[in-house]
Structure 1
Amino acid sequence: MVTPSTLEQMVCFQLYAASRAMTAVYRPILEPHGLTYPQLIVLVALWDNGPTTVRDLGKQLNLDSGTLSPLLKRLEAAGHVSRTRGSTDERTVVIDTTETGMRLRDELSDLPARIACAVNLTETEFHQLTHLLARFRDAIN
């Protein structure tokens, strides 16, 4: 068992600080598009997987409906996503990107390169970090 003796040695603090710093890197890139980081991850999930239910989107992003619903309402109001009731069950809501939302994907296509540049990691280091964080997340879920 590793017992941290300082704040800097605490994994939880490093993850918290890194998350806040990463969000700050995204902010000036996303602001001109009228997006926040949480809205971006919703759009990326839709770009990757296509239409999905609110329930499945919440599971994928690890967001509860109290957090996800306002995000989706703002994205819909901005014209980036559409929400439609399921044809077989009206309690089911399907989320999909609109043409405007798909245009954002093209406008933000250089985002991964810009972020990699901003964090000053090599491509290998970036992939290693992503892999380790995914393992870490999976181990505690």
Structure 2
Amino acid sequence: MAVAQDNPLALEWQVCFNLAAASRSVIALYRPVLEPLGLTHPQYLVMLALWEKSPRTVSELGSELLLEPATLSPLLKRLEHAGYLTRERSRSDERALAVTLSPEGVALRKKALAVPGQIVAKLGLPLEELEHARHVLHRLIEAAIA
């Protein structure tokens, strides 16, 4: 810890640097795993949310994924074009856009079940460490958005 006290601007001690580097590195592991599914990592996150609950409004998805509408809309458009979901005005609220998995999107879930195990294998870390990291990241996210 002396290094951080001697130089509080040392790159290796910056939470933002370590988070950014870890994020880029882990997402890079996902690329070859998701490619056969025809998904990018952001699209995979959208599909994960929809596999948990469909239909959802665009607003619900944005809140769940911590994404702005301007970022989410192009993702949804591409996933709709790929045949994995549909977007249509909500029957209960004309102002809301409902996002629903298509049969192809539902079927894709079976193929995606192999993704987490492949990523864990690529990382080569014990599950306990990954669970601890996930827990700490959840706490960081909550602190940052509070």
Shorter-chain TM-score bucket reads over 0.9
Aligned to 1:16: 20
Deviation, 1:32, is 1.8
What is the Cα-based RMSD across aligned positions, in Å?
1.3
Cα distance in 2 for partners of 1:84, 1:118 equals 38
Please list the CA deviations of residues 84-129 of structure 1 after superposition, one character each: whole Å capped at 9, or x if unmatched. Answer: 2111332211111111111111001011111111112111111101
TM-score, structure 2 normalization: 0.91
Equivalent residue for 2:81, pick from 77, 83, 87: 77
Cα distance in 2 for partners of 1:82, 1:71 equals 12
TM-score, structure 1 normalization: 0.94
Structure possessing the higher radius of gyration over alpha carbons: 2
Aligned to 2:30: 26
Assess if the C-alpha contact under 8 Å between 2:34 and 2:115 holds in 1. Answer: no
Gaps of 5+ in 1: none
The number of residues matched between the two structures is 140
Gaps of 5+ in 2: none
Report sequence identity in percent. 44
Cα distance in 2 for partners of 1:31, 1:11 equals 30
The one-letter code sitting in structure 1 at the alignment partner of 2:24 is R
Equivalent residue for 2:127, pick from 123, 126, 129: 123
Please list the CA deviations of residues 43-81 of structure 1 after superposition, one character each: whole Å capped at 9, or x if unmatched. Answer: 000101221100111011111111100100000000001
5 Å-filtered alignment, 1:102-141, equals 102-141=106-145
User: Runs ≥4 in structure 1, deviation > 6 angstroms?
Assistant: none
